[in-house]
Structure 1
Amino acid sequence: MAFIKPFKAIRPTKDKVSFVASRSYEEYSKDELKSVLQYNPFSFLHIINPGFKFHKNITGKERFHLVQNRYLEFLEENTLKKDEDASFYLYQIEKDDFKSLGFFCACSVADYRNDIIKKHEDTLKHREELFADYLHTVGFNAEPVLMTYADNEVVWDVFQQETQRKPVYDFTTTDRFNHSLWKISNKESIAKLEAAFAEMDALYIADGHHRSASSNLLAQQMESENKGHNGEEAYNYFMAYLIPESQIRIYEFNRMVKDLNGFSKEEFLIQLDAQFRIEKQEEGPLRPSKKHQFSMYLGGEFYSLYLRNINYSFSDALSQLDTQILYKTILEPILGISDLRNDKRIAYGYGKNNLIQMKDSVDNGKFAVGFSLMPTTIEEIKAIADAGLVMPPKSTYIEPKLRSGLAIYEL
């Protein structure tokens, strides 16, 4: 059973929410970040970039303490306020034909440890420790873990009932996304959601493996420091955004490699011929149309690569994943790339125009070859997580991407 609980969120006041909410820090260009910090004093970015106030780049422990100070300032100035009652927070993101509806809640680190919360990615120990130290110092968590679950009629009925009410937030951001948030504080709806999730066997992390791992590490540290530990402390939980499987979108990452590992174009194609049926495409750009088919851009031409099953063994869920197939048949044995996370010869691209951008990157000589894949499916993610396996890095780009600062969980 999955355990969820409501919490008393720290939230922006209604008149400032559109100014406070920010995209993930990594999504801002250097110039855009500077502009937001200079002209929007209410942006959540001021909290996580405290050095801007002092015209200084501050790192390490000093930065963590200043983040806490900026957070306290936002509270003191009533830009942020704490809710009086524990609630779930239903949050909808909408743009054009894309709409997602899920909710913020507190999830249990015990569920993470007991594999009720399923993982499909490896984490780096130093990043776990760094973020756990950050959380311990600042005392709040503003970056929810995105998790998904099998569509549930009871949960969806509660969602539909709650969205009939007027949202506490309803605003549009400059990227033309509309954001709506409803506070679920009535006991009946809370009880229905808790009971529905108590009957679920698993939740699946879609985005936020390091954040969940760090929250688990933090809980272990704080429990060891607390002689009166009883299991109900805030650090025993972490903030998550739970969303039905049908409400997420999964996109692919392209792979681009800087050289052919000493092979000429013709020699490289011969190497590929052992594992793939190769067809040159007269028209492009070309996107793969089915699993185990890859689009390759090489020397100004697109090729379709069709896996020869006779020379490749499907032994488990991971071996059937296209990112793993590409790694095991081309990237590692032919191009000599064994470390997909750290090798500087490989780069990744995603987004609406990523195929065109891949082509341009090869044409201008930045890369020698590019590969495009079909997106990973939610069924593949679940099969790998259920088997306790780990997907290659950059196997999924998942939406929605949540705004920071809408709901904050105090530790």
Structure 2
Amino acid sequence: MANFIPFKGLRYNNEKISDLSNVTTPPYDIISPSAQEEYYNTHPNNVIRLELSKELEGDNETNNKYTRAASTLESWLKDQTLVFESEPALYLYEQIFTLKNGVTKSFKGFIGLVELEEFSKGIVLPHEETLSKAKTDRFNLMSTTYSNFSQIFSLYLDPERKIGAIIDDISKAAPDITFTSTENIIQNLWIITESSVINEVRGILKDKQLFIADGHHRYETALNFRNKLREENPDYSQDDLFNYVMMMLVDMDDPGLVVFPTHRLIKDIAGFDENSLAEKLQEDFHVEKIMAEPSQNHLSEVIEQELTKRNKDKVFALYTGENYYYLLTLKNSDIMSKMLPDQSLAYRNLDVSVLHTVILEKILGIDKENMANQKNLTYTRNPLEAIEWIKNGSFQCSFLLNATKVFEIKDVSLANEKMPQKSTYFYPKLVTGLVMNKFR
């Protein structure tokens, strides 16, 4: 099913850039304006100038952040700041990281090019809804640079660990590239050009379905851009690289996979009243009001621990800015069958589906269009922000929840459905600028 091929990756010239930590970044969609400025100042060749160039006063159709990214790319190619691999390769990529509880984890996967396929073919499967604004941004960047600067992150099933055995064998050798990025994450890369190894990996993956974990906007953009180029070039070849997109593939059962929750913050609800909300919640939830102990300096950590202890239930925390929080446990999952009769059991069983359907829509009146436009809803991965932003009055309340489980992503994808936006946050994010794909 999946056509996974090697490619001549575009990488920083190690004769010019000795420390990749100075020139790489996280993916564009988690970079704040202040972080963008910081990356700009870190190094004149930081990939931020390609992936997320600054908007400047006076920008127009012919001079803007996208045209500047293209000009910068051509300049770096000309002076060999960036160089292509001498022959087609697959790249084995590893991240080693430590969670805040002190546990160290790692995961490994292959970077290569995957042939673009419509979701309807069931080869590449999405799990999350997308936003049109982000897709327009990525399309504009692709239109000027003809490049993928970051990898889409996808999962596959390999119960017999056939690919896992290949990965174990390759990683016995020292990596070709290693450095430590932000948050003290070790980044390792092995460059594989041996045709026998490449063909073995490709042969195993050809029967696999790929589940997009991170990068839905980039995948849909690549599909749209491919279709545009096919229309403009009716004599195109199937081997043309615009038919492919750069992707990192990881075993869904890799023990190093970590998914964080994304919490919801509510604002600008007319007539918002905490007591009224708590009363309405009692119809469908067991509502516990839990006082915060004076010694608990980090209420967010207390809430996280309590949610984790009860993660077999559909449970949420509601915070309204006081010295207490509410713990909400769904009384009966039958309500999801009544409210979403046309959705699959996999979709109805998601914590985020319960939160959106029963609380945000039914009780607070925040419909799907409102959520998509983020009129009354904002997201944060940081549980501390979900507390502090309520305390300082920026928002009226927040809902904290447990993370979506990896198997739930698979189940929803196989049901040909998509989760609500911001249902998953894989950690750590893949590094942008480690290896890139220029397809024209």
Q: Secondary structure at the match of 2:67?
A: helix
Q: 1:260–1:369: 8 Å Cα contact kept in structure 2? A: no
Q: Deviations over 1:152-203 (max 9, x none)?
A: 5111111111112232211112431111110011011111100110122x11
Same amino acid, percent of matched pairs: 25
Higher mean alpha-carbon deviation, 328-337 vs 9-18, is at 9-18
Q: CA deviation at 1:141?
A: 1.2
Tell me, yes or no, if structure 1 residue 167 matches structure 2 residue 179: no
Decide which of 383, 386, 403 is 1:358's aligned counterpart. Answer: 386
Q: Structure 2 residue aligned with 1:34, among 34, 37, 47?
A: 37
- 1:329-382 CA distance string (max 9 Å, x none): 11112212112121332222213xx1x332222222222222111111111111
Determine the C-alpha separation between the residues in 1 that align with 2:333 and 2:5: 50
Shift of 1:151: 3.7
Q: Aligned to 1:279, which of 288, 304, 313?
A: 288
Deviation at 1:39, TM superposition (A): 4.7
2:269, 2:376 within 8 Å by CA — same for their partners in 1?
A: no
Q: Kindly report the root-mean-square deviation, in angstroms, between the aligned alpha carbons of the 2 structures.
A: 2.3
Cα shift readout 1:106-131 (whole Å, capped 9, x = no counterpart): 00113655221001222345643553
Q: Say if 1:112 and 1:118, in contact at 8 Å, map to a contact too.
A: yes
Contact 1:149 1:243 in 2 (8 A): yes
Q: Counterparts in 2 of 1:241-260, with a 5 A limit?
A: 241-245=248-252, 246=254, 247-258=256-267
2:350 corresponds to which letter in structure 1?
A: L
Cα 1:192–1:13 shift into 2, 3 Å: same
Q: How many residues align?
A: 405
* Separation in 1, partners of 2:149, 2:386: 34
Q: Deviations over 1:281-318 (max 9, x none)?
A: 23453232223111112352212111121761335221
| Cα pair distance change 1:148/1:400, threshold 3 Å | farther
Structure 2 residue 430 is matched with structure 1 residue 402: yes
Does the Cα contact within 8 Å between 1:261 and 1:335 map onto a contact in 2? no
Deviations 1:196-248 (A, max 9, x none): 10122x11001111111111111111112223222111011110111122232
2:101 aligns to what? none
Task: For 1:161 and 1:2, locate their aligned partners in 2 and report how far apart those are by CA, in whole Å.
Answer: 23
Give per-residue Cα distances to partners, 1:76-101, cap 9 Å, x unaligned.
22211111211101111112213121
- Asked whether 1:349 is paired with 2:360, we answer no
**CA deviation vs aligned residue, 1:128-149 (integer Å, no higher than 9, x gap):** 3553343132121112111011
Find the counterpart in structure 1 of residue 198 from structure 2: 190
Paired with 2:376 and 2:431, the residues of 1 have a C-alpha distance of 32
Q: Any unmatched runs of 5+ in structure 1? A: none
Say which is worse superposed, 382-391 or 231-240, in terms of deviation.
382-391
Q: After the TM superposition, which residues 357-396 of structure 1 pair with which residues of structure 2 at under 5 Å, given as runs?
A: 357-396=385-424
- Structure-2 residue corresponding to 1:230: 237
Instruction: Name structure 2 gaps, 5 residues minimum.
Output: 99-103, 293-298
TM-score, normalised relative to structure 2: 0.85
Offset at 1:65? 2.6
Note closer, same or farther for the CA distance 1:341–1:59 as it changes in structure 2 (3 Å cut): farther
The answer to whether the Cα contact below 8 Å between 1:2 and 1:111 also exists between their aligned partners in 2 is no
Q: How does 1:79-90 map to 2 (within 5 A)?
A: 79-90=81-92
Q: Report what 1:47 is aligned to.
A: 50
Partner secondary structure for residue 110 of structure 1: coil
State the AA in 1 paired with 2:319: Y
Distance in 1, Cα, partners of 2:136 & 2:174: 41
Secondary structure of the 2:188 match is: strand
